[in-house]
Structure formats: structure tokens, C-alpha cells
Amino acid sequence: MLADISDRRIQQALRDKAKALIHSPEQQGNPLVDELAGYRSVRAVGQRYRIVYRVDRDTVMVIVIALGLRREGDKRDIYRLAKKRLADKKAKGKP
């Protein structure tokens, strides 16, 4: 998803924000609900982009599952894409 963003400054800002999740990831962003329960979302790049992630406490790991623009009602909305990714993983039998 990061490679799909053509502006390298935005790519770098998203990388920086994702790296910042190393420090207290559960205190950053907001918990999500419904199909994305167990995941969190943090705003990035002037509040336009979102990074959807999960914190794996067993291995002390932050797993970014999606990043992109919040476009409510649009098929390219980051939350819609994150839900699709998770549904695809579940269909393939992956956690």
C-alpha cells in the first residue's frame, strides 16, 4: 500500500509515523470496532491518512495491516480496504 502512494514525502511521513508506534502503541491511535475489533487506527500526514495496526503483546510486535486515505463512502477508503484484507486472510486460514 505504501508503494502505491506516489509522493515520496508522504511515504516517508507514513514510515516515520509507523516507526513511532514502537513506543507505546496501545496509547496511540483509537481502537476500532466491528470487523476491525482488536485493531487500532492512528492518523498521519495532516490527519488525512490512517495507519491500521494491531499490537501483538506475546512477541512485542506492532503489525501494520493497512495505510491510506480515509474516504468515507468510497471503495478505496482505508477502513474498507483493511476489512477486505482481513477477510481475505481469514478465508485463506491465516490469523
Our CA angle for 68, 12, 76, nearest 5°, is 10
Contact (Cβ atoms closer than 8 angstroms) between residue 29 and residue 45: no
The helix (H) or strand (E) run that includes residue 24 is none
Tens-place pLDDT, residues 9-56: 999 999 999 999 988 888 998 999 999 999 999 999 888 899 999 988
What is the span of the domain harbouring residue 52?
A: 8-90
Say if pTM beats, i.e. exceeds, 0.85: no
Comparing CA positions, the residue from 10, 12, 92, 14 lying closest to residue 53 is 14
- The HSE-up count of residue 9 (CA atoms within 13 Å, CB side) is 2
Look at residue 30 in the predicted model and tell me its pLDDT. 94
Query: Has residue 95 been placed in a domain?
Result: no
Give how many domains the chain has, as a whole number.
Answer: 1
Specify the CATH number for the domain of residue 69: 3.30.2310
Residue with cell 491510506: 68
Query: Has residue 54 been placed in a domain?
Result: yes
